Structure 1
Amino acid sequence: MWAHALGFTALPHLGGFIGWFFTRKEVPIWYESLKKPSWRPPNKIFPVAWTTLYTSMGYASYLVWRDLDGFNSKAVVPLGLYGAQLALNWAWTPVFFGAHNLRLALLDIVGLYGLVLGTMYSWYPVNKIATMLMLPYLAWLTLASCLTYCIWRDNPEKGKKNK
């Protein structure tokens, strides 16, 4: 069972690693040129936060999978919502940093927020610890959503990548 726990825990990091390819060149050039709110966390906090959050949500998904006895009809909604939110999570970085599409990034993160709430709601009857492991993620998404909104609002001319 440890291999399953490790696999579920590692899965969210795949998208995070791929997202790093979009951010590594865009942060020092494009992102630093954006107007950002004064309460924005320092750049060095983001990889630490996301590594912690991906690990926590990945392990939480393992707990739900384990308690539902794997992928079966009972797991469709709880793990389907988790997969959908993970897809939107992974999509945000290429949309924001790759395409510089601030409006679409905002729409993505609002949808992501709703899917995380739905995931947590569907997980609660299955495993309360898994649900609680998602709370830091939801808190960080609250911050990230506000930050995305402020950047979109304050940088209308930088909302599209130059072609």
Structure 2
Amino acid sequence: MDNLSASHHPQPYWLQIAGLGGWLVFCFAAAGVGSSVTLPQIPAWYAELNKPAFNPPNWIFGPVWTTLYLMMAISAWLVWLRSGWLDAPGALGVFCFQLLLNTAWSVLFFGLENPTAAAIEIVFLWLTIGATIVSFWRHSRIAALLLTPYLAWVSFAAVLNFSIVALN
């Protein structure tokens, strides 16, 4: 099921590579929007918040998120490659929606300095990531599995978010 040559929509090699490039640009554009509202707040507003003892050091977030966005792009690419937009519009649509919610969380938490709104929103993000994994599983098990570290990290981020709300 995950053999690229077994795709329902065989595509020329150049189109497969272009597709990967497109998914990478799409995912890292979302990351860029999130970073643009997050990074200025790290030494300012975020530094002043009370945080739980298990809060990771700030330097860990960049490498973790870079890895997760890379895995998200590859995951979406695998579904697109295997099934295309026409056979997987729901799966890829849910993926795009979770990416929008991912970006919205950064805007709520850091941009608007509103951890409470972000805590509410992260529940919907978590559910949408879960829905993406379920829908991707039908098209590519590898694609679905590539999203599980993302779900785990957002689970941790949710606990951290709710703790920050409670401490502030």
Structure-2-length-normalised TM-score: 0.88
Give the Cα separation in 2 of the matches to 1:124 and 1:64.
Answer: 9
1:23 matched to which residue of 2?
A: 38
**What letter is aligned with 2:139?**
V
Q: Could you tell me how far 1:77 is from its partner in structure 2?
A: 1.3
C-alpha contact (below 8 Å) 1:10/1:55 kept by paired residues: no
Q: Name the Cα RMSD after superposition.
A: 0.9
Give the letter aligned to residue 139 of structure 1. A
- Deviation digits for residues 64-101 of structure 1, max 9, x if unmatched? 01111x211x3121011101100000111111111011
| 1:71 is aligned to 2:85 | yes
In the alignment, residue 130 of structure 1 is paired with which amino acid?
A: A
For structure 1, list consecutive stretches of 5 or more residues without a partner in the other structure.
Answer: 156-163
Counterpart AA for 2:125: L
Give the TM-score normalised by structure 1. 0.90
- In 1: Cα distance, 2:72 partner to 2:40 partner: 27
Distance 2:35 2:98 in 1: 19
Q: Quick one: which of 43, 48, 60 aligns to 2:63?
A: 48
List per-residue Cα deviations over 1:131-150 (Å, max 9, x = no partner).
11001101111110100110
Where 2:88 maps in the other structure, the secondary structure is helix
Moved runs in structure 1, 4+ residues, more than 6 A? none
1:9 is displaced (CA, Å) by: 2.4
Q: How many residues align?
A: 153
Partners of 1:95 and 1:101 within 8 A in 2: yes
Paired residue type of 2:121:
D
